[in-house]
């Protein structure tokens, strides 16, 4: 596979991980990113044990290289009491792999540092054409020919409708405010990731980012708010007034400039196929471009890392034929992607239920069910 060339569109988690995998296989890779710099956001995210295993397969240790903080317990609460909880260790039960909270910018740094010299990075390159016949991608002035095009350009990928026209994005009807607080100002925190389900379909989660501080995420029904960060901060204060400690402390410790607002959408249904063969090569969808799942179960980045590792496995397994490798990739990924997307959508729908519905369900659902679903989500090993 020495002389093979790939062009990867998008340098998010999926694109960076794909570029690492391909370069390790000896491919030459052009990594095209529209932003000026390859840099992650100042946000925290959860990487489940499955994602941590995928990172390890790429040569990145989530705790050592990406400064991830192991999550000892996951807790789901309502305003009055703990509803469900399970040990983080349970998710990595077979091999003791931890789930971790990571600072996105540090995760990106760790991935960028593994790209290697076979990867040519082209920042500030807004790809506006992908040729699916004579495989290539480019912008207004340049074109990169390839044996494989990896479309890792996020949930709005224009390539997904071409490969899978029946898998649009769906508006989840909620918006998420996220805050990252530097360590010297962060409230006292433990080694648990907590999400509190309140009335009126609001939720508030928080976790520890170690030296990078602490992070929280607040989900509220409705669309993006047009107000200034200052007013948004006041609104969040009002919406979450009277919630149990330490919710108020997280909000109070956050400066308006440390707030990020994101609309939530997901791809539904999962595409029936993730690639298209073209001659002796092909084009493949990766990460959110393929399957952007509802973020309520914090699976998206882990899935993107798993995608890349599985692509590497498929290309190693069938080195003589890229189309055959892409077909194996689809077969290996689709059952898991469908399961995770279905569960994420179902939990999102329950959590978006009217007043009392979520609270009633939180009371009714046995701990053992939550634990077994969580364990099945984390149950992924790099294919061999």
Ligand X SMILES: Cc1cc2nc3c(=O)[nH]c(=O)nc-3n(C[C@H](O)[C@H](O)[C@H](O)COP(=O)(O)OP(=O)(O)OC[C@H]3O[C@@H](n4cnc5c(N)ncnc54)[C@H](O)[C@@H]3O)c2cc1C
Binding string, residues 302-341; x marks residues near ligand X by CB under 6 A: x-x-------------------------------------
Task: Enumerate residues 38-67 that contact ligand X by CB under 6 A.
Answer: 45-47
Exposure b/e, 194-207, CB count within 10 A at least 16 = b: bbbbbeebbbbbbb
User: How far, CA to CA in Å, does 112 sit from each of 12, 180, 311, 365?
Assistant: 10, 22, 19, 42
Binding string, residues 176-215; x marks residues near ligand X by CB under 6 A: x---------------------------------------
Contact segment (CB under 6 A) with ligand X among 63-71, 232-240, 287-295, 314-322 equals 287-295
15 interacts with ligand X by CB under 6 A: yes
Alpha-carbon gap, residue 358 to 313, rounded angstroms? 41
The residue among 178 and 233 lying less far from ligand X, judged by its C-beta, is 178
| Shortest distance, position 103 Cβ to ligand X, whole Å | 11
- Answer for the pair 251, 127: CB distance below 8 angstroms, yes or no: no
Alpha-carbon gap, residue 375 to 252, rounded angstroms? 34
| Shortest distance, position 259 Cβ to ligand X, whole Å | 13
The residue among 145 and 318 lying less far from ligand X, judged by its C-beta, is 145
In the chain, how long is the greatest CA-to-CA distance?
62
First-to-last alpha carbon distance for the chain, in angstroms, is 19
Binding string, residues 225-264; x marks residues near ligand X by CB under 6 A: -------------------------------------x-x
Residue of the chain from 30, 33, 62, 258 that contacts ligand X (CB under 6 A): 33
37 interacts with ligand X by CB under 6 A: no
Q: Is the peptide bond before 309 cis (omega within 30 degrees of 0)?
A: no
Token pair, residue 329, equals: 């990739």
Helix segments in 240-321, DSSP class H: 247-252, 288-291, 300-317
The residue among 222 and 360 lying less far from ligand X, judged by its C-beta, is 222
Binding site for ligand X (CB under 6 A): 9-15, 32-35, 45-47, 125-127, 152-154, 176, 262, 264, 287-289, 295, 298-302, 304
């Amino acid at each position: 596979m020495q002389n093979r060339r790939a062009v990867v569109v998008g340098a998010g988690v999926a694109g960076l991980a794909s570029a690492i995998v391909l370069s390790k296989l000896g491919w030459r890779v052009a990594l095209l990113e529209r932003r000026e710099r390859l840099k992650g956001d100042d946000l925290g995210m959860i990487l489940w044990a499955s994602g941590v295993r995928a990172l390890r397969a790429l040569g990145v240790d989530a705790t050592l290289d990406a400064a991830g903080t192991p999550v000892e317990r996951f807790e789901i609460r309502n305003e009055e009491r703990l509803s469900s909880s399970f040990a983080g260790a349970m998710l990595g039960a077979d091999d003791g792999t931890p789930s971790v909270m990571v600072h996105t910018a540090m995760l990106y740094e760790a991935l960028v540092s593994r790209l290697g010299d076979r990867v040519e990075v082209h920042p500030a390159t807004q790809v506006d054409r992908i040729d699916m016949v004579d495989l290539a991608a480019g912008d207004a002035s340049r074109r990169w020919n390839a044996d494989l095009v990896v479309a890792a350009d996020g949930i709005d990928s224009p390539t997904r409708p071409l490969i899978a026209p029946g898998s649009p994005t769906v508006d989840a009807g909620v918006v998420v405010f996220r805050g990252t607080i530097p360590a010297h100002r962060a409230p006292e925190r433990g080694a648990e990731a907590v999400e509190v389900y309140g009335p009126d379909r609001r939720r508030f989660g928080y976790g520890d980012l170690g030296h990078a501080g602490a992070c929280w995420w607040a989900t509220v029904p409705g669309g993006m708010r047009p107000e200034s960060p200052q007013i948004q901060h006041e609104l969040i204060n009002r919406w979450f007034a009277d919630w149990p400690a330490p919710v108020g402390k997280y909000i109070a410790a956050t400066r308006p400039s440390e707030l990020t607002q994101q609309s939530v959408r997901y791809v539904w249904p999962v595409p029936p196929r993730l690639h298209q063969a073209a001659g002796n090569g092909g084009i493949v969808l990766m990460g959110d471009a393929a399957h952007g799942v509802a973020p309520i179960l914090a699976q998206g980045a882990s899935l993107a890392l798993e995608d890349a590792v599985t692509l590497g496995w498929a290309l190693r397994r069938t080195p003589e034929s890229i189309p055959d490798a892409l077909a194996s990739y689809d077969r290996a990924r689709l059952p898991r992607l469908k399961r995770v997307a279905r569960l994420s959508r179902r939990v999102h729908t329950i959590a978006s239920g009217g007043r009392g519905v979520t609270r009633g369900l939180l009371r009714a659902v046995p701990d053992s069910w939550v634990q077994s679903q969580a364990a099945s989500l984390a149950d992924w090993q790099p294919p061999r």
